[in-house]
Structure 1
Amino acid sequence: MATDRSSTPRTGLTLAIIGCGVMGTAILQGVLDACPKERTTGEKPRFSKVIACVNSEASVERLKKAFMHEERLEILQKGNVKGANAADVVMLGCKPYMVQDILGEDGILAALEEKLLISFVVGTPQAKILNCLRKGTSNHPNDKALKKNPKIVRGMMNLAAQYGESLTIIEDLPLPGDFLDIVNWIFSQLGKTTLVAPNLYDVGGVIAGASSAFLSVAIDGMLDGAVCEGIKRSEGRKMLTQTLRSLAALLENGETPDTVREKVSSPKGTTIAGTMSLEEDGVRASYSKAIVKAANRSRDI
């Protein structure tokens, strides 16, 4: 691990989240829920304040309604620079096409100088984020004198983050002090985390984030077949949900996809007949191609 862990983890920090859609809100919920739990164990909370930076009035109202009793939360509309200035750690979670506008704001580079910037924007590598910040300095002379960039790291979670069951892929980069511990702590509130080398981040992000969408296509197809054979879709969905849990348990306990197929495929049986149909239709190759194409698209963003 290329990170200095010698320093004592800091507590009582302020976190700013720029962009609170589904994923940003899940992070917000996870961090706010975790801090009271730390107090009950006698630990000082990692974050004593969280700032949510959003663009629209509708987002402000949504967050106010969802976190109406949360005293540690401050919600800012069109206050990205103010939020970043007040924060020790900043998270960026906008759409990729919005990155330049946000990081091009007057004063944003000064607000981010030497701070930990965690991006959960799809794709958008560190070099592109830095380029967006540098483009902003050409329009804002006050930022030109700054010499030190923020420390940038990327993380990609999935929709299950809102239930604490995500897998988050974290880019393994050299970070000073307790920065990596902070990154891992935040994403651990959403589920499990895995470090990957920067050159594997895009494909790792696809496996962690997009693969659930790919699998949903297979599930829909199986449900259609079940309905065709007389099972109600709602009942079939319950059956498949438990079957997916069963498969996950097998894989977590050391089984591999090929051994699972071998153990449930009897000579001239139902499983091998269905498996042969999938192979004839090229399903395996289609899923392989989907992963490769999605990873390539992530690199292009």
Structure 2
Amino acid sequence: MDNLKIGFIGGGAIAEAILSGIIKAGLVPARNINVAEIIESRRAYLQTTYNIEAQGEGNIVGSSVDVLFLTVKPQVVHGILKSIYKSVKKDTLIISVVAGLTLESLQRYFSEQPVIRVMPNTPVAVGEGMAAIAMGQYATEDDKKIALEIFDSVGKAVVLSESAMDAVTGLSGSGPGYAFVIIDALADAGVKMGLTRDVSITLAAQTMLGAAKMVLETGKHPAELRDMVTSPGGTTIAGIYELEKSAVRSALIDAVESATNKSKSMGKKNG
């Protein structure tokens, strides 16, 4: 990959997280990355921080790269695509992280060109993101390998059919929001029990991080790991009983379902 030239249309937080991951992982040198961003101060920040190229015009970036990321807001993407698609090289791989933008819609702009749709989440900013990748009909195994290498550099990535993308959005796309609510609630509980706020937040966040790593690194089912720390008549089962009594499990399932349905409605509007 080190000879590839990679471009971004949009220089916001997700673009920064992805490009920083690419640079840190050594996938391509910083000089091979070019970002189109309309805000001058943001361009200057990205250039200074990462030693990359930054332009004000998307056409310049689109015409000169091998892989082009679409990292803009859903409400502006169609206008941007209409202004740049003719200038993009015909063999450029298009990777979209735009919520609700379907492969079919992308293919209308880039006919017979490799396109990939990705749903990442915000922890890509700290190298612990989760991304689901859906392949367009002209995307090859080499294209898939490129996408996987890039998103593995900022966390983990899986390849799924596009039909799963709304559920992915409801679970991992929106999931950090649910986790932040849980961490905040646990921290409140710590404060109620006499701990300081900063200590409570650290205890709650590190506990969630550690539990997640145990699931990923042991390969054990979460229920099995739960049973390992739940002694008969002990403290953990007392706490879990209260969670079950308050229907926390059902609330989380309902949250994912609601977010999935919202994603579906956004797709109909923006796709």
> What's 2:79 paired with?
101
Alignment pair present for 1:74 and 2:57: no
Alignment pair present for 1:218 and 2:209: no
* Residue of structure 1 aligned with 2:152, choices 180, 185, 188: 188
TM-score (norm 1): 0.79
Q: Partner letter of residue 3 of structure 2?
A: G
Q: How has the CA–CA distance of structure 1 residues 286 and 194 changed in structure 2, closer, same or farther, with 3 Å as cutoff?
A: same
Q: How has the CA–CA distance of structure 1 residues 11 and 58 changed in structure 2, closer, same or farther, with 3 Å as cutoff?
A: closer
> What's 1:144 paired with?
none
Task: Give the deviation of 1:173 after TM superposition.
Answer: 4.6
The more displaced of 96-105 and 179-188 is: 179-188
- Asked if the contact 2:11/2:71 (under 8 Å) is kept, the reply is yes
Quote the Cα distance in structure 1 between the aligned partners of 2:61 and 2:157. 27
Q: Partner letter of residue 58 of structure 1?
A: S
Task: Give the deviation of 1:47 after TM superposition.
Answer: 8.1
Quote the Cα distance in structure 2 between the aligned partners of 1:13 and 1:293. 40
1:64-98 C-alpha deviation (Å, 9 max, x unpaired): 3323xx2xx21101x11111011111110111111
Partner of 1:86, secondary structure, is coil
Alignment pair present for 1:150 and 2:138: no
Q: Partner letter of residue 29 of structure 1?
A: S
Partner of 2:125, secondary structure, is helix
Q: How has the CA–CA distance of structure 1 residues 64 and 46 changed in structure 2, closer, same or farther, with 3 Å as cutoff?
A: closer
Quote the Cα distance in structure 2 between the aligned partners of 1:276 and 1:263. 16
Task: Give the deviation of 1:116 after TM superposition.
Answer: 1.0
Task: Give the deviation of 1:289 after TM superposition.
Answer: 1.0
Partner of 2:35, secondary structure, is strand
| Pairs aligned (count) | 264
Quote the Cα distance in structure 1 between the aligned partners of 2:2 and 2:211. 40
5 Å matches for 1:6-45? 11-35=2-26, 45=28
* Residue of structure 1 aligned with 2:38, choices 43, 49, 55: 55
Quote the Cα distance in structure 1 between the aligned partners of 2:207 and 2:223. 17
Partner of 1:123, secondary structure, is coil
Q: Partner letter of residue 276 of structure 1?
A: Y
* Residue of structure 2 aligned with 1:287, choices 246, 252, 255: 252
Q: How has the CA–CA distance of structure 1 residues 227 and 100 changed in structure 2, closer, same or farther, with 3 Å as cutoff?
A: same
Q: Displaced runs of 4+ in structure 1, greater than 6 A?
A: none
* Residue of structure 1 aligned with 2:124, choices 153, 156, 161: 161
Partner of 1:13, secondary structure, is coil
Task: Give the deviation of 1:203 after TM superposition.
Answer: 1.6
Q: Partner letter of residue 278 of structure 1?
A: L
Contiguous gaps of at least 5 residues in structure 2: 267-271
Q: Partner letter of residue 161 of structure 1?
A: V
* Aligned-residue CA RMSD (Å): 2.3
Contiguous gaps of at least 5 residues in structure 1: 1-9, 39-44, 135-147
> What's 1:275 paired with?
240
The more displaced of 120-129 and 279-288 is: 120-129
1:15-58 C-alpha deviation (Å, 9 max, x unpaired): 111111111011121223333xx6xxxxxx58861110011122
Task: Give the deviation of 1:300 after TM superposition.
Answer: 2.2
The more displaced of 277-286 and 222-231 is: 277-286
> What's 2:269 paired with?
none
5 Å matches for 1:111-260? 111-131=88-108, 133=109, 148-174=111-137, 175-176=139-140, 178-252=142-216, 253-260=218-225
Quote the Cα distance in structure 1 between the aligned partners of 2:2 and 2:13. 26
Using the aligned pairs only, state the percent identity: 26
Task: Give the deviation of 1:240 after TM superposition.
Answer: 2.0
Partner of 2:88, secondary structure, is helix
Quote the Cα distance in structure 2 between the aligned partners of 1:177 and 1:256. 31
The more displaced of 47-56 and 217-226 is: 47-56
